[in-house]
Structure 1
């Protein structure tokens, strides 16, 4: 008979030195049989939603945290019953070392390193991922259930184990009464259901394969999803005068970053209003050009390209103040950040080496970046390493503002709405398409003259795209 043991999996550091994560949902329940590297949960860090793979092959013995719980890195989140082979495959993966029959939360977790060799008995090849481990084994089917008798035996073994977790196991998501399967939906839909107080088991899915969609949840309640502030519940009990929401996730990180930026870097903001009629005419011609067929082109696309050209002539705006080393770091590349309003809050993913992209490549990158951000799937790597940012407040009908710097960057430009307005053109009053540009910069790095020259160059390109020829 194969010997079995209980293994605990602690929440790993998911990157960027983050100290905690929120359990969004479990993909498994107690009694499920899982394979190595099978996705067992979705967790939300302060920067991104991450799928968490299993470090063991075995049976889920206990889930220590419920969806919605904020868990510190290093705390146990799930226990597995594994045999000796499964323990050998997953022990080093889960904790960076071998493990005893039952590992407790008191033992400090050790993060695996990329340089470490494969553990004994592990697959020959592993694919890296956000938690530092992975396997060639792919699991595409649904988890299988243990027989009732085996589940009872498992509970008895857990009770007899001297070091078994003492805390009660939270109730797992209930299965559909007819099919025995849990309701199928996506993380944003589950978040919406929680906000609206909707039990997904009561909702019939109209999506592919019975998937529960956002519309299904909204139609079930007869209410609409809150748009301006997604963290505030849409349904407020009658008589309640306040709604309180925990500060966590992206909202918490954004608040801390903005406070740090505002009170560390001396901000200066300059404004310039530009006649962008030639840019809008160019945009119309490009959309009609077969070479750009299938590409999503917007004023942001042209403005982003103009920013990259202007930065080439004004490199001080693409730099960083290194307080620790008392150095100014000037970047010879541009990782262009684009502020994106998402259901999780404000994020600023960036396009790596954007200055090397053609207009078509830039259009593709922008489209993919915004779609990924709104779906909540932006990786931590795409949210770090930015060197200059754009915030497109014009999509909200706003003309100008005073944007706060993304921490670690020297400047950010806000693009206002494109509006028809009376304008002096060729010494005559005419109706033209006008945009306001708002540039904020760190006065430690950028002098007023340098900031003004950058803004003037950007405005010149948008007023007459042919000016690019004089700058490259």
Structure 2
């Protein structure tokens, strides 16, 4: 019989999504959990797995179309009664938001769906996603050189089927990547999309198809005086969030210029330490650690204003947001429980998030929440700014460029490495004294990294 699959709520109560590309066509036979399409929400690009085994009969939308949650997306010809399908409770995933739709449409987004037969499948291995996406600090977090690998034909490795999820297998197939070769590099663990991307970039970056991360912008026609770019996806969400924040929370911004010579010397010594080979430690890592320490002394910056409850909610954890400029627009993913991490742990988390951001695959879950944020404007050569608070947060720190400047050091004029910090905060939650104290704490750590031992 023929049944429609309706677009489910992909998380965070989103109301619509744009079709980036279809990976199936009418007449195709698809398997349970096979990736049907890539869809872009206001926050991320998501792979949509099939809830059925069957044959595709109709695509209700085309690439570039925006589809409302609950609207028909694709039709299947399947065997049996689709209303007998039930979600796999162990997956704990989001079901379709259209309550009037049959139970078969309760697709488990990002994890697949339960089988339409009576037997229950073995629990699937989950993909491991990095702690949050990334930063605009790709210049500071230097990419490690890759090994030189052959780019010509390579004999396929025979043996047991590599461990991966259906979406990853479909993605590798589109790129022309043999997962057996990827498995030879990553070892026994489940292959992730990031592993496929890394292999494609290293082995045959020129031959691999371009990974699509955003709808293309039409090139201007000769003589045309203006172009119109649709407001959608991340840019639309960012604009709405910034307007809400700017006209809800009374922003105050203060600035402090800091001598970070000692921090830069510490970073250089850590990079030379053979025991830390492969760990990428840059200024943003040290600043993130300094922020976590300072938030412990000034909890108002790690709070939010709950107008409905008439309360200020203080967080006893730090989900550290890192503003990232991507091809799809500005996103602010989060490092969960950043206050518990060592300097090395933060470095590894930021490196993982950088790789996730480069692939354009930051998940909605990684973008949700956040208690305090950092934005690195210094990577663009900018010294200072007045950042707008992410909605629901009371503080955001803008990090300026590190520059050699004349500076009075120990009573004498010297050339020192200097940086300007710009702190914006919600004046309903944080008064000027607390904001200044926080900024001074961060600056003191950067001026004398040894002071961190006194604050831990």
Q: 1:231 and 1:460, CA in 2 relative to 1: closer, same or farther beyond 3 A? A: farther
Change (3 A) 1:442 1:370: same
How far apart in 1 are the matches of 2:413 and 2:437? 27
In the alignment, which of 20, 27, 32 is matched to residue 23 of structure 2?
A: 27
Q: How far off is 1:371 after superposition?
A: 1.9
Normalised by the size of structure 1, how large is the TM-score? 0.74
**Mind listing any 5+ residue stretches in structure 1 that lack a counterpart?**
95-104, 131-135, 144-181, 187-205, 218-224
Aligned to 1:282, the other structure's residue is in SS state helix
Change (3 A) 1:430 1:407: same
The corresponding residue for 2:422 is 438
> How far has the Cα of 1:113 moved from its partner?
9.6
Q: Residues 35 and 139 of structure 1 are in contact (CA less than 8 Å); yes or no, is this contact kept in structure 2? A: no
2:234 matches 1:250: yes
User: 2:254, 2:436 within 8 Å by CA — same for their partners in 1?
Assistant: yes
The residue aligned with 2:381 is 397
1:312 to 273, 296, 302: 296
Match of 1:53 in 2: 49
Does the CA-based 8 Å contact 2:52-2:115 persist in structure 1?
A: no
Q: Report the secondary structure of 1:7's partner residue.
A: strand
| Paired residues of 2:254 and 2:423 also in contact (CA < 8 A) | yes
CA separation of 1:456 and 1:385: change in aligned 2, threshold 3 A: same
Query: Does residue 32 of structure 2 align to residue 36 of structure 1?
Result: yes
Larger RCO, structure (CA 8 Å, separation 6 or more): 2
Corresponding residue to 1:121 among 118, 121, 128 = 118
Residue 379 of structure 2 aligns to a residue in which SS? helix
2:67 alignment partner, one of 71, 76, 96: 71
Q: Counterpart of 1:12? A: 8
CA distance in 2, matches of 1:412, 1:356: 20
Aligned equivalent of 1:82, options 78, 83, 86? 78
- The answer on 1:462 being equivalent to 2:440 is no
2: CA distance, partners of 1:335 / 1:376: 21
Whether the aligned pair in 2 keeps the contact of 1:88 and 1:120 (CA below 8 Å) is no
- Measure the CA separation in 2 of the matches of 1:356 and 1:92: 39
1:413 aligns with 2:410: no
Q: 1:342 aligns with which of 326, 340, 347?
A: 326
Asked whether the equivalents of residues 349 and 373 of structure 1 are also in contact (C-alpha less than 8 Å), the reply is: no
The alignment partner of 1:395 has SS state of: helix
The CA distance in 1 between the partners of 2:326 and 2:61, in whole Å, is: 26
The aligned length equals: 380
For 1:275 and 1:141, locate their aligned partners in 2 and report how far apart those are by CA, in whole Å: 50
Please tell me whether the aligned partners of residues 424 and 430 of structure 1 are also in contact (alpha carbons under 8 angstroms): yes
Distance 2:452 2:170 in 1: 55
For residue 271 of structure 1, the aligned residue among 246, 255, 261 is 255
Partner of 1:148: none
Contact 1:185–1:213, Cα closer than 8 Å, also in 2? no
Offset, 1:122: 4.9
Deviation at 1:112, TM superposition (A): 4.0
The 2-side partners of 1:38 and 1:333 are apart by 38
Matches within 5 A, 1:88-237: 91-92=85-86, 108=101, 112=106, 121-127=118-124, 138=166, 184=175, 207=204, 211-213=208-210, 233=217, 235-237=219-221
The answer (yes or no) to whether the contact 2:35–2:166 under 8 Å persists in 1 is: no
Q: Kindly provide the CA deviation profile for residues 39-90 of structure 1, in whole angstroms up to 9, marking residues without a partner as x.
A: 11110110011100001101111111111111001111111111117x366x
- Measure, in 1, the Cα distance between the counterparts of 2:357 and 2:363: 9
1:333 counterpart residue number: 317
What's the CA shift for 1:233? 3.1
TM-score (norm 2): 0.77
| Superposed CA RMSD | 3.1
CA separation of 1:79 and 1:309: change in aligned 2, threshold 3 A? same
CA distance, structure 2, for counterparts of residue 389 and residue 453 of structure 1: 17
Deviation at 1:365, TM superposition (A): 0.3
Q: Structure 1 CA distance, aligned partners of 2:229 and 2:102?
A: 31
The answer on 1:386 being equivalent to 2:365 is no
Structure number with bigger Rg = 1
CA distance in 2, matches of 1:185, 1:238: 37
Query: Aligned in 2, Cα 1:321/1:183: closer, same or farther, shift over 3 Å?
Result: closer
Asked whether the equivalents of residues 87 and 114 of structure 2 are also in contact (C-alpha less than 8 Å), the reply is no
Question: Partners of 1:139 and 1:414 in 2: how far apart?
Answer: 37
CA distance in 2 between counterparts of 1:449 and 1:235 reads 51
2:20 touches 2:215 (CA, 8 Å); kept in 1?
no
Q: Quick one: structure 1 residues 77 and 231, their matched pair in 2 at CA, closer, same or farther if it must change by over 3 Å?
A: closer
